[in-house]
Structure 1
Amino acid sequence: MNNGGDLEEALDWINSALEGQFFSQKTVNGLAIKAQILQKKGDLEGYGKTMDDAVAMANPSQINRMGYAMITAKDYDRAVKYFSINVKSNPKNANWHNSLGEAYKAKGDKKNAIKHFKKSLTMNPSANVKANSEKNLKELGAL
């Protein structure tokens, strides 16, 4: 995929794998690969839907990575949706609030971004999460 190969052929192969051929099965990583192929092909709707399927099977760390992929893809609503899943499943996790703050900031929702960065700081975050929340709050003029 990164070497300029045939995206149609790559899509055929990953679809076969996801459908159970080659003694394989549908996995988060397989869906993420399919999503990347669709994104490279310019099928942003297919990319988003495939990422939604992957998120439904993903663990919190994978969901967090997919949220950042959505920020990169400028699909801020999906980023907020994905990070919100983590916050709802573990509302006392400082990193999840920090990530949700980043999605809101990228979306241009300053009020909710500040809310989640501040919430993150109340939870005794790790040094890197604390530094990121503080940096973002300064950029937003809230610290």
Structure 2
Amino acid sequence: MSDCLVAYPKEMSPALAEVLGMPPHRLYPVWQLMRGVGFDIAHRYEAEVAAALHFLIPLAIRHEDWRSAADDELGRIRHAIRRPATRYSADARYEGGVITVTAYASDDPGPMREFRPVVTIELDEAHATELLGTLMIALDTPRAE
């Protein structure tokens, strides 16, 4: 997430109202993920809720569709968790019969590995299955050293 300050609006947008009105139990996955990638969050309920709100409020101010922005940002953090030693990562999401596959790359040597999308493709289930089979065959094929 960007380190820049966000001006707090005079009027509350529907997105900001939704984030500020979230029940604390819905914030649990956010603070757990934040803690998992190294955010220093005290093990007190108030501190955990505050950390999650601190993460989500700027997204709600900047983006009316704050959920997508939060998904993108949390996805970037998840990639840092799963693949800290590599420059490449990927993500796949299924929605409405369409599988969206995104490949990411990073040239950031730091622990958070700022991953940026390189290519995104959308596939129906049949083509996704074919792609998976092709990848499995390619990975199973001996390579010349």
Q: Same fold (TM over 0.5)?
A: no
User: Normalising by structure 1, what TM-score?
Assistant: 0.31
**TM-score (normalizing by structure 2):** 0.31
Name whichever structure is richer in helix by fraction: 1
